[in-house]
Amino acid sequence: MDPDAVAKAFVEHYYSTFDTNLATLANLYRESSMLTFEGQKIQGSSNIVAKLTSLPFQQCKHSITTVDCQPSGPSGGMLVFVSGNLQLAGEQHALKFSQMFHLMPTPQSSFYVLNDIFRLNYA
Amino acid sequence: MDPDAVAKAFVEHYYSTFDTNLATLANLYRESSMLTFEGQKIQGSSNIVAKLTSLPFQQCKHSITTVDCQPSGPSGGMLVFVSGNLQLAGEQHALKFSQMFHLMPTPQSSFYVLNDIFRLNYA
């Protein structure tokens, strides 16, 4: 399958899950997975989802602006770089964000997230 | 050495080289290196530097806002995620950018850039 199509499908799945059923994002991470969220380092699927569910908003909606991807080397991994807007419930203006994922293949022809780095681009 | 310190040293070296002696950036890339620049895919050290030197400005200055890093897996690679501002000569306002690098170790205890993805965060 075309890597760009895989990256786009992953990104759509990731953010629609984030916006509608955040707890099930845990399925995309493993115990070795790392998240750096606005500079804070978190490791492991359950810790990562605990961090994301603790964020101070009731509801959010991600809108994707760009998705870029590259193979990360002989491991079969894939780097996915996203920019977009994040609308929080009750806020007038959307926030801009950038996020990168390092996806690693699973034996089931799927991917999990090994690396995840998220930053808001403050205006 | 502390990975965060390595990442910060790399980023300072990269952008100071970019801003003062762009042609020598070729030393940080190899023939396998990939750059995605505003969605355009380029491969190989000489092609990457040819692209960067063809950009339509005479002089620029990068200012770094954030640097995040994570190990990319058992290969000894390192993911570096940067946000910052780019001031072009003759322009009133700086541009915001995000960029990610995947650094791979060399036998000389140094790193080269295997993956590089660059995006401007349009206001």
ipTM score of complex: 0.94
Distance of alpha carbon B117 from alpha carbon B98, whole angstroms:
8
Number of independent structural domains in chain A: 1
Residues 6 or more apart in contact with residue A5 via CB below 8 angstroms? none
Report residue B54's pLDDT band, with 50, 70 and 90 as the boundaries. Answer: very high
Which of B68, B98, B104 lies nearest to residue A36, judging by beta carbons?
B68
We report the CATH number of the domain holding residue A15 as 3.10.450.50
Given pLDDT bands bounded at 50, 70 and 90, which one contains residue A122? confident
Question: Domain containing A14: what range?
Answer: 3-120
CA distance A3 to B32: 17
Confidence of residue B53 (pLDDT cuts 50, 70, 90): very high
pLDDT of residue B35: 98
Q: What is the pLDDT of residue B56?
A: 87
- B69, B7 Cβ separation under 8 angstroms: yes
* pLDDT value of residue A123: 59
> pLDDT digits over A37-74, tens only?
999 999 999 999 999 999 988 899 999 999 999 999 88
Q: Which pTM value belongs to this model?
A: 0.96
Q: Three-state SS across chain A? A: CCHHHHHHHHHHHHHHHHHHCHHHHHHHEEEEEEEEECCEEEECHHHHHHHHHCCCCCCEEEEEEEEEEEECCCCCCEEEEEEEEEEECCCCCCEEEEEEEEEEECCCCCEEEEEEEEEECCC
- Residue A75 makes CB contacts below 8 A (sequence gap 6+) with A104, A105, B73, B74, B75
- B6 in A contact zone (CB under 8 Å): no
Choose among A70, A73, A100: nearest Cβ to B81: A100
Average pLDDT, chain B: 94
CA-to-CA distance for B30 and A12, rounded, in angstroms?
A: 32
The Cα–Cα gap between B38 and B116 comes to: 11
Question: Can you give the pLDDT at residue B123?
Answer: 59
Residues 49-108 of A with CB under 8 A from B: 66, 68-75, 77, 79, 81, 83, 96, 98, 100, 102, 104
Residues of A in contact with B83 (CB under 8 A): 98, 119, 121
pLDDT in tens, B19-39: 999 999 999 999 999 999 999
